[in-house]
Structure 1
Amino acid sequence: MEKYNERYARHYALSDFGFEGQQKMMEAKVLVIGAGGLGCPVLQYLSAAGIGVIGIVDHDHVSLSNLQRQTLYTTDDIGKQKSEVAASRLALMNPENEIVNYSIELTSNNAWKIISEYDIVVDCTDNFASRYLINDACVLLNKPLIFGAIYKYEGQVAVFNLSSEKKDRVHYRHLFPESPKPDDVQNCNDVGVLGVLPGMIGMMQANEVIKIITGLGEVLDGKLLTFNMLTYETYILDISIEQSAENLIPNNRKTFEATDYSILCGISKTNINDLSPDHFTAMISFDDTLTIDVRELNELPAVDFKHIQIPLSQLNERLSELKTFNIVLFCQSGKRSLKAAEILMNHFGDTKKISHLKGGITAFKQEKNEQKD
């Protein structure tokens, strides 16, 4: 029996958890991909619960707009690497955990090596390219995957790839065989999200991790839980296994690592220039550059530099207005401007130079504020 540790006294007191359950927790290795709205509560509760090794994958930086829901970070952390801040904060919460920090973007080139080192994977990402990449790697590596997603006032949780019989294992592609088109799905940067929602969904994800490790309760294996914050309505749906979805999974590691999930999910950026805030500032100052805000009318924050506004929803009808060679696009987060750039590239080809502000006006304002400080 392990040595008594007062930190976990309430776990020991649970008759069906006790020392044995806590020992399993301390021997487990869990990888959390994404340290944002969902990742913060997952990381906090798994760390407090005594998971032995916690891996954090995130290449993003803390911004002011994150703080409404990403509770691991403070105003002083703005501009810092999320995974680094999260790792240092978790170490203060529970120094008995081993925290492994990956301040990188997860790609098909590095995912296999990273995921293979963990027992359970928690998907806390917010884009389809990452979700399909993570799912396919977990299927090939036979790793349980806890999925979470949020949209405005509603969240989803599911557990994939868990059942003991391979033929019975449900995975993400059984729910969504192929990625929707980028313009068919809106991001929380564009439509918003209630701040407490990712906290509740993230805690549900953490709960599923603990249940899998300890064998407690009934896991959402092959089931999708949908939770509405406004009404507290909760639905649990069985996910059907569709055999044709198996053909969409890469056959082996070599095929997986050769797959470009950005292209697979329709977000290729071929010949489109990503502009940093500084490059954007320089570019829009040129007389021969047309700067276009593709946000909807009256979206905030307002900007004080010269530009015209053509919402993404109207872009196809107004292509004839675009006479200049250099065109620079921006939006709130960079997602709509990237889509707009792809539309222009498909229409004009190499006859125009198309650029967009990476990270959107949010990243632009943040960097300008940091430069003032």
Structure 2
Amino acid sequence: MSLPPLVEPVDALSSRERLRTARHQRLAGLGSDGQRRIAAASVGVIGAGGLGAPVVLALAAAGVGTVVVFDDDDVELSNLQRQVIHRLQDVGRPKTDSVVRVAADLSETEVRVVTTRLTHENAAELISGVDLVLDGTDSFESREVVAAACERLAVPLVWGTVQEFAGLVTVFWSAPPAPADAVRLHDLYPPGSEAPACSAVGVFGPLCIQAGSMMASEALKLITGIGRPLLGRIAMIDALAGTVREAPLRASRATASAPPSDAVVEVDDPADGAVVIDVREAEEVARGMLPGARHVPLATLLGSLDSTAVELAGSEVVMVCQVGARARRAAQALRERGVDAVVLRGGMDGYERRRQPA
């Protein structure tokens, strides 16, 4: 369904912006009124990476009035395969530097940057003041922080994710205008969800541009009140098949999206003599591992399951990751090959919480 425009229009565009956005203003349904709404909008973009980069480009080109970019990372050479706002000369510099420079070359969009890392304690305060948020982060921990802040502020959240050759785009909103129903992140993923990082399984570069462009389109539709936003629907991109399908997404009870009860066994502590395998990435295990644990990144383990299963035959194996999801995936794959694999409950985060004094 269509929704009312999110912002009121500015009185007038500058003569240069009026000429620059002429093709927008000729669009039936958008017109001058819609373009002036775009110019009035303040949009938060979380992350200037694979999704955030095309999002910022599209929003600045569209003439969004203010874009607030949240990112505290520096550009790495491996980013340039998919993060199209950065250049070779930007390697080693803050990603926000590229964002400010490139946006200024496109339009009169004001770009503000926030390099403070978002947490559950500060996110709502830092995000407050924007009309909507686009989340391009790549970890569920960050996504939950952003989603919780948007729910608290009752602002719409345009959400996307990409991994390997697949992408998802949707809109979450805890307080949409009637008669639309609220849809939240936890209606799609249960709390504590986790997925392999793109550094482990890879991501198809053009897919980031496609999904980021869809996210920017959703933002402009919400701002101007045109079309059917993806609230209550989720777009599923298959880059290999060249298709975009959709599925309904409705509010559900937490139990409806909980992991299946027949998932692999979880333990609070490894048993004596158990083989402990940590499937996190190198930068994660650098912060600490369980004593005696072996480091085998998830992608490496999944690529050598048969030989690993032979090696571990007859052993009790405890799989470890940060919060549990990658470990469950690894354990299930090994169990299908006859290995007695269990999961450290809650991953390293849960283990460390259990060790803290009551």
TM-score computed with the length of structure 1 as normaliser: 0.66
Q: For residues 54 and 20 of structure 1, what CA distance do their matches in structure 2 show? A: 20
Q: Deviations over 1:25-57 (max 9, x none)?
A: 010000000110000000000001000010000
Q: Deviations over 1:62-91 (max 9, x none)?
A: 111100010111111111111222122212
Aligned position for 1:263: none
Give the C-alpha shift of residue 315 in structure 1: 9.4
Equivalent residues in 2 for 1:213-362 (5 A)? 213-244=223-254, 274=287, 294-295=296-297
Q: Is the contact made by 1:173 and 1:245 (CA closer than 8 Å) also made in structure 2?
A: no
Aligned position for 1:111: 123
Give the C-alpha shift of residue 9 in structure 1: 1.0
- Code of the residue aligned with 2:246 in structure 1: it is I
* Runs (4+) off by over 6 Å: 296-299, 313-320
Equivalent residues in 2 for 1:126-205 (5 A)? 126-161=138-173, 163-165=176-178, 168-180=181-193, 182=194, 185-205=195-215
- Code of the residue aligned with 1:154 in structure 2: it is A
1:41 to 29, 54, 57: 54
Moved more, 34-43 or 102-111: 102-111
Q: Is the contact made by 2:168 and 2:211 (CA closer than 8 Å) also made in structure 1?
A: yes
The answer to whether 1:121 aligns with 2:123 is no
1:14 to 27, 31, 41: 27
Q: Is the contact made by 1:174 and 1:245 (CA closer than 8 Å) also made in structure 2?
A: no
2:38 to 25, 31, 50: 25
Aligned position for 1:83: 96
- Code of the residue aligned with 1:203 in structure 2: it is S
- Code of the residue aligned with 1:186 in structure 2: it is P
Q: For residues 242 and 48 of structure 1, what CA distance do their matches in structure 2 show? A: 37
Give the C-alpha shift of residue 179 in structure 1: 2.1
Q: Is the contact made by 1:124 and 1:147 (CA closer than 8 Å) also made in structure 2?
A: yes
Q: Deviations over 1:287-346 (max 9, x none)?
A: xxx9976347989xxxxxxxxxxx9x98999999xxxxxxxxxxxxxx99xx99x77x96
Aligned position for 2:81: 68
Q: For residues 222 and 297 of structure 1, what CA distance do their matches in structure 2 show? A: 33
Q: Is the contact made by 2:124 and 2:152 (CA closer than 8 Å) also made in structure 1?
A: no
Give the C-alpha shift of residue 139 in structure 1: 1.1
1:294 and 1:224, CA in 2 relative to 1: closer, same or farther beyond 3 A?
Answer: same
1:297 and 1:145, CA in 2 relative to 1: closer, same or farther beyond 3 A?
Answer: closer
Aligned position for 1:303: none
- Code of the residue aligned with 1:204 in structure 2: it is M
Gaps of 5+ in 1: 249-266, 276-289, 300-310, 321-334, 351-373
Moved more, 13-22 or 126-135: 13-22
Q: Deviations over 1:183-231 (max 9, x none)?
A: xx21111011111001000000000000011111111112111010111
Q: For residues 167 and 153 of structure 2, what CA distance do their matches in structure 1 show? A: 27
Q: Paired residues, what number?
A: 281
2:110 to 98, 123, 130: 98
1:41 counterpart SS class: helix
Give the C-alpha shift of residue 60 in structure 1: 1.1
Q: Is the contact made by 2:201 and 2:299 (CA closer than 8 Å) also made in structure 1?
A: no
Q: Is the contact made by 2:132 and 2:156 (CA closer than 8 Å) also made in structure 1?
A: yes
TM-score computed with the length of structure 2 as normaliser: 0.69
Q: Deviations over 1:136-184 (max 9, x none)?
A: 111111000000001111100001116314982111111113223x5xx
1:206 to 207, 216, 227: 216
- Code of the residue aligned with 1:228 in structure 2: it is D
When the two chains are superposed, the root-mean-square deviation of aligned CA atoms in Å is: 3.7
1:152 and 1:317, CA in 2 relative to 1: closer, same or farther beyond 3 A?
Answer: farther
Q: Is the contact made by 2:82 and 2:206 (CA closer than 8 Å) also made in structure 1?
A: yes
Larger relative helix fraction: 1
Q: Is the contact made by 1:84 and 1:103 (CA closer than 8 Å) also made in structure 2?
A: no
- Code of the residue aligned with 1:112 in structure 2: it is A
Give the C-alpha shift of residue 93 in structure 1: 2.0
Q: For residues 76 and 315 of structure 1, what CA distance do their matches in structure 2 show? A: 47
Q: Deviations over 1:114-150 (max 9, x none)?
A: 2211000001000001111111111111000000001
- Code of the residue aligned with 2:79 in structure 1: it is N
